[in-house]
A and B are shown apart, each in its own frame.
Chain A
Amino acid sequence: MTTAPQLDIPPRPRTWPRRALIAGAVLVVTVLTTTPALGGVEIDLDSIARNWGNGASRIAMLFQPDWSILPRTWEPMLETLEMALIGTAVSAALAIPLSLWAARPTNPGNPLRMAVRFVLNVVRAVPDLVYATILVAMVGVGALPGIITLVLFDLGIVVKLVSEAIDSSDSSYMEAGRAAGGTQTQINRVTALPQAWPAFASQVLYSLELNVRVSAILGLVGAGGIGRLIDEVRGFYRYDALSTIILLLLVVVILIEVASNYLRKRLR
């Protein structure tokens, strides 16, 4: 038997100092965030046990759905779906140019790209309920403030994810467009747009899914949809009726997810 010649394997880089550092950091952050004396949040496990009785009866009611509420849910549910759909459509239309302006390959000019990114970061930083509350005060109770909230919420997500997809995708075709004497707008319209299309459609479908859930909440502050009904029955402690609404919402959300998953697969 011949012995294989000795391999000259380069020494493996040491990883333990890095791992120790990460483990240490996780530990420190955990301690800091859960110790009230150090400014962490107060986690009172006792109170869960103490108040268990209160919650238990409500949970019991949740398990006995009151179907008599069902006829009253159609209209607000339809409104929720309409809000979600309109919000998605409007944000999708706005997201097309914004995504192209927010990505480096499709917008090499720095100032405009930075400006778009900055504005979108701000838009994303504000919670959706804050938009809804302010908009209800501005334009009144109803579906409109809800729709505007959804548009802002969707723009934040879609533009960020699509522009990042454009940033990380191969854009060698840009050079061909430039070599042919095209303007950036022409290159974006004819080549970058079809390239970004699957990422775009996929994110828009995702935002539609999110919108149904978010718009259910928005009604709590008067921004229309099924949330208004949720708020009402909760006010009367009708947890059995609430249960029906939640089940309905669940069915709708699952249906939309199934549909959008199917569509998303067809996109590839």
Chain B
Amino acid sequence: MRQHTTQPEAEGATPSASVPWPIALDQVTVRYPNGVVALKDVSLRVEPGEMISVVGLSGSGKSTMIRTINGLVPATSGTVTVGPHTVTGLSGRQLRQLRGHVGMIFQHFNLADRASVYQNVLVGRFSHTPTWRTLLGSARPADRDIAMRALDSVGMLEKVWQRGGALSGGQKQRVAIARALSQEPAVMLADEPVASLDPPTAHSVMADLQRINQERGLTVLVNLHLMDLARQYTTRMIGLREGRLVYDGPAADATDADFEEIYGRPIQVKDRLDR
């Protein structure tokens, strides 16, 4: 696995992306400790380098599904595989190592708002850094370089020394993308990455994700609840309803009727970003 982190870089290029990984869910069920069954018998295969959206109503299990892929939520039954790793049953160091190859961004950005942008992006280097070195507080020049390049690639390099909390929503999400990119991941997960952003910013963040998918060839899996974003930015779409996979097909071809089927109700204005 070490080769992923120590690949020599081409002159002036962005950090070399790893080989993209496939994702496979095999009959995955998730039951939370309180008894809620959030995912029911979901099977899915995502090809390396695909950009795929997961749509569904609030509570349909999108966040749960995406979190089984990096083990933030353990599958109760079934197996999840990501690249060469079987996520199910991993723990400790092995789980952290897997997560190091899977970038994730969140609806609420999850930045430490009193820490600098730089520190927030260094979080992406955790799994490639021994704990004692992090404790000493001195990043390796190579890690620093990766963090700076990741920030540059989302146009946030000039904010590197600002506090995370001093940024706008769109800027925060770009920093969060840089944090995930600095992992040099093979897979990128995004859980409602634009749900807290205004429409123009939402489009530019989606375009960033699309560019990451196309330029770096990363496998990208993005949760969305807006149908037009799914159609416009992703090539394949998965529909979840009450924890079950109810749709799987090319995103561009998904009709309003397909969405009504996924949502289990007629289309409403709020299901689109651009009204």
Chain A residues proximal to chain B, CB less than 8 Å = 172-173, 175-183, 185-187, 189-192, 194-195, 197-198
Complex Cα distance, B125 from A186, in Å, reads: 10
* Chain A residue at minimum C-beta to C-beta distance from B110: A176
Q: Is the CB of B131 within 8 A of A186?
A: yes
Q: Is the CB of A198 within 8 A of B114?
A: yes
Q: Is the CB of B115 within 8 A of A181?
A: no
* Chain B residues, CB < 8 A from A182: 96, 123, 126-127
Q: Identify the interface centre among B106, B116, B176: most chain A CB within 10 Å of its CB.
A: B106
- What 9 A-B pairs come out closest when comparing CB atoms? A181-B127, A182-B126, A181-B99, A191-B112, A181-B100, A194-B115, A176-B110, A181-B96, A173-B112
Q: Is the CB of A186 within 8 A of B183?
A: no
B234 in the interface (beta carbon within 8 A): no
B204 in the interface (beta carbon within 8 A): no
**Given known contacts A186-B126, A186-B129, A180 and B115 CB-to-CB distance under 8 angstroms:** no
Q: Identify the interface centre among A177, A181, A187: most chain B CB within 10 Å of its CB.
A: A181
* Chain A residues, CB < 8 A from B129: 186
Contact of B115 among A172, A178, A179, A191 (CB under 8 A): A191
Complex Cα distance, B115 from A198, in Å, reads: 11
* Chain B residues, CB < 8 A from A173: 110-113, 115, 120, 123
Complex Cα distance, B114 from A172, in Å, reads: 13
Complex Cα distance, B211 from A19, in Å, reads: 62
Q: Is the CB of B126 within 8 A of A183?
A: yes
* Chain B residues, CB < 8 A from A172: 106, 108, 110
* Chain B residue at minimum C-beta to C-beta distance from A194: B115
* Chain B residues, CB < 8 A from A180: 99-100, 103-104, 123-124, 126-127, 179-180, 183
* Chain A residues, CB < 8 A from B106: 172, 175-176
Q: Is the CB of B97 within 8 A of A181?
A: yes
How far is the CB of A103 from the nearest CB of chain B, in Å?
15
Contact of A181 among B98, B111, B114, B176 (CB under 8 A): B98
Complex Cα distance, B110 from A190, in Å, reads: 14
How far is the CB of A176 from the nearest CB of chain B, in Å?
4
How far is the CB of B64 from the nearest CB of chain A, in Å?
14
How far is the CB of B159 from the nearest CB of chain A, in Å?
16
